[in-house]
């Protein structure tokens, strides 16, 4: 699939980039080497007349990607979450990429529903509206369930979208291979990794069962969050290419006039949306990674409602603890501790100077803390922090880049509601609460309890394991006696630790 037949698609791509003026923008954003620039011009300029014209009102990059179709639009959206690869300026352009395409006919949507759910759409839904939203991968219809009369949202994949994406992704793989072949120096741009990341994101979005599962997990995590609700998944009316959710009434988070007219307090909403995001990222490690105004509503009762769960972020518990301590260190302006945490976590190579790193961090933090409180930005802090850590040899971590990008978006939403909010004041209680629960005596006890539960699962096997070890020791005691003193001490200490954990487990469980 990644053979020469994709060359025509690449030529058309290069021609469109050239015709729209996006070629130079893209090459500059990636800081492409000279050999790659020459090859790109050769591929694009002679065939410029074959390229799509696009919408002249758009910036060059978004104009080109919009003209090239759904896979390219989605590729631009994914790249907007990777400012480490495309630079902040292009990432901002791509972030506002229009994800709107002409809708496909209702009749085709109903055919898809019938194929996926095994029954005619008219036998499942009493009403089935024209599309209320049409994006690059799917479109949404407002419908009413016949059985219950409940109003729902039905998301349906575009017909043939999977095949179209597969063809374009094959062309992307060929392009990445050619880039590395033409210019070995471009490997620092990691073109193959970029395409692999994009393919993983798209595979998740092309299976609506995975999005439904993400929505369900997100709802379970946040069910006790005051002032926050999610539409519920209707599993009986969902499949690979169709997903049905309860309908969410409300006004768009981006419409301040409508929010004011409905009598909602925008200052309260601005604090809540930021604290909710921080709670989901730190407490749960599972957060909505596309929380722009278009995916947020304010319900009539004032609750914030989140929509569209195609892009979710995940951070493991250890990483959450590390970055919470880093964030807390910045809040306290304890730059040496922030530096030490980076070294302890192995994020910065051990051969670097911790004092020099701490001074670099101070250069990041102090200018921000010198600002007026209403101008302080955690998104800017994270951006500066990643620049410094990159200079000290820290490898890029995709999940943290996604966190940074989402933090910037959420801050933008919060400030659009209340330009005078104090980000640190709003964030501090959430971070401090997480620190208390995840770092300190309570966290140690929790970790020991989890360890004990893991060991408890092996309880039925422990007597036989110990007996087998004792038999081997009795048959040949020499190996242990010949072991170095530090090895015997290590095994003895391990046994003592296991005994203490088991004793604690006994107290906890019984």
Q: Mean pLDDT, the chain, as a whole number?
A: 79
Domains of the chain: which residue ranges? 4-100+162-205, 251-439, 442-509
Annotation marks residue 303 as catalytic: no
Pick from 56-70, 229-243, 250-264, 359-373: least confident: 359-373
Q: Which residue has tokens 């090459």?
A: 27
Whether the model pTM is above 0.85:
no
Out of 131-135, 182-186, 253-257, least confident range: 182-186
Query: 454 falls in which pLDDT band (50, 70, 90)?
Result: low
Tell me the C-alpha distance between 210 and 214, whole Å.
Answer: 6
Q: Tokens 């670097």, residue?
A: 352
**501: Cβ contacts below 8 Å, ≥ 6 apart:** 448, 451, 452, 455
Q: Which of 37, 30, 32 is nearest to 83 (CA)?
A: 30
pLDDT in tens, 44-93: 667 677 778 888 888 888 888 888 877 788 777 777 766 656 666 777 77
SS3 of 147, please? Answer: coil
Percent of the chain with pLDDT over 70: 72
- 500 versus 458: the higher-pLDDT residue is 458
Distance from the Cα of residue 507 to its chain's centroid: 40
**pLDDT above 90: percentage of residues in the chain:** 28
pLDDT of residue 64: 83
Between 46-60, 91-105, 442-456, the lowest mean confidence (pLDDT) is in 442-456
pLDDT in tens, 254-306: 889 999 999 999 999 999 999 999 999 989 999 998 888 888 999 999 999 99
Cα separations in angstroms, 234 against 12, 215, 231, 442, 460: 42, 11, 9, 39, 41
Tell me the pLDDT band of 457, cut-offs 50, 70 and 90: low
CB proximity list for 310: less than 8 A, separation 6 or greater: 137, 204, 205, 211, 214, 290
| pLDDT at position 505 over 50 | no
- What gap in Å lies between CA 483 and CA 441, rounded to an integer? 35
The tokens of 269 are what? 């909403």
Q: Which CA distances in Å does 470 have to 466, 475, 500? A: 6, 9, 21
In this predicted structure, the answer to whether residue 501 has a pLDDT above a threshold of 60 is no
Distances (CA, A) of 507 to 32, 386, 503: 61, 44, 6
In whole angstroms, give the CA distance from residue 401 to residue 193: 15
483: pLDDT strictly greater than 80: no
Helices 378-391 and 423-438 meet at what angle, rounded to 10?
Answer: 60
Assign 459 a pLDDT band (cuts: 50, 70, 90): low
Catalytic one among 84, 290, 303, 308?
290
Res. 361 pLDDT band, cuts 50 70 90: confident
- What's 233's DSSP letter? B
Q: How confident is the model at residue 373 (pLDDT cuts 50, 70, 90)?
A: low
Pairing of strands 138-145, 125-134: antiparallel
DSSP state of 130: E
Report whether 310 contacts 211 (CB < 8 A): yes
- The DSSP H or E segment spanning 356 is helix 354-369
- How do 228-229 and 304-306 pair as beta strands? parallel
Q: Which are the contacts of 504, defined by CB distance < 8 A and separation ≥ 6?
A: 448, 449, 452
């Amino acid at each position: 699939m990644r053979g020469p037949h994709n060359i025509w698609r690449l030529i058309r791509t290069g021609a469109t980039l050239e015709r729209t003026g996006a070629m130079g923008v893209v090459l500059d954003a990636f800081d492409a080497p000279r050999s790659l620039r020459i090859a790109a011009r050769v591929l694009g300029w002679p065939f410029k007349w074959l390229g799509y014209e696009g919408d002249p009102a758009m910036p060059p990059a978004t104009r080109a990607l919009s003209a090239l179709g759904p896979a390219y639009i989605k590729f631009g959206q994914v790249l907007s979450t990777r400012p480490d690869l495309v630079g902040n300026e292009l990432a901002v352009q791509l972030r506002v990429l229009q994800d709107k395409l002409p809708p496909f006919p209702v009749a085709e949507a109903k055919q898809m529903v019938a194929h996926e759910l095994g029954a005619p759409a008219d036998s499942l839904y009493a009403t089935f509206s024209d599309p209320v939203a049409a994006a690059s991968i799917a479109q949404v219809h407002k419908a009413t369930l016949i059985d219950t009369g409940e109003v729902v949202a039905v998301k349906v994949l575009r017909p043939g979208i999977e095949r179209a994406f597969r063809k374009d992704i094959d062309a992307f793989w060929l392009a990445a291979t050619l880039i590395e072949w033409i210019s070995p120096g471009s490997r620092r741009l990691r073109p193959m990794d970029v395409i692999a990341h994009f393919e993983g994101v798209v595979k998740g979005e092309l299976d609506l069962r995975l999005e439904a599962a993400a929505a369900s997990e997100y709802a379970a995590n946040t069910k006790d969050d005051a002032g926050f609700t999610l539409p519920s998944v209707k599993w009986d009316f969902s499949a690979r290419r169709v997903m049905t959710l309860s309908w969410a009434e409300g006004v768009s988070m981006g419409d301040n006039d409508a929010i004011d007219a409905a009598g909602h307090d925008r200052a309260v909403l601005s604090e809540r949306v930021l604290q909710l995001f921080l709670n989901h990222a730190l407490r749960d490690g599972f957060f909505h990674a596309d929380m722009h105004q278009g995916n947020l509503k304010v319900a009539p009762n004032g609750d914030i409602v989140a929509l569209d769960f195609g892009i979710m972020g995940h951070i493991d518990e250890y990483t959450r603890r590390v970055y919470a301590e880093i964030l807390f260190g910045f809040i306290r302006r304890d730059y040496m501790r922030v530096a030490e945490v980076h070294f302890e976590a192995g994020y910065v190579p051990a051969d670097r100077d911790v004092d020099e790193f701490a001074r670099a961090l101070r250069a990041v933090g102090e200018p921000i803390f010198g600002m007026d409180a209403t101008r302080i930005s955690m998104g800017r802090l994270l951006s500066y922090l990643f620049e410094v850590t990159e200079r000290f040899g820290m490898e890029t971590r995709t999940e943290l880049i996604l966190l940074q990008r989402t933090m910037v978006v959420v801050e933008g939403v919060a400030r659009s509601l209340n330009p005078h909010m104090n980000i640190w004041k709003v964030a501090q209680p959430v971070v401090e609460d997480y620190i208390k629960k995840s770092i300190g005596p309570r966290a140690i006890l929790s970790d020991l309890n989890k360890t004990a539960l893991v060991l408890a699962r092996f309880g039925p096997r422990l007597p036989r394991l110990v007996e087998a070890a004792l038999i081997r020791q009795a048959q040949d005691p020499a190996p242990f006696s010949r072991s170095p003193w530090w090895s015997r001490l290590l095994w003895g200490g391990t046994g003592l630790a296991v005994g203490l954990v088991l004793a604690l487990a006994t107290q906890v469980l019984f």
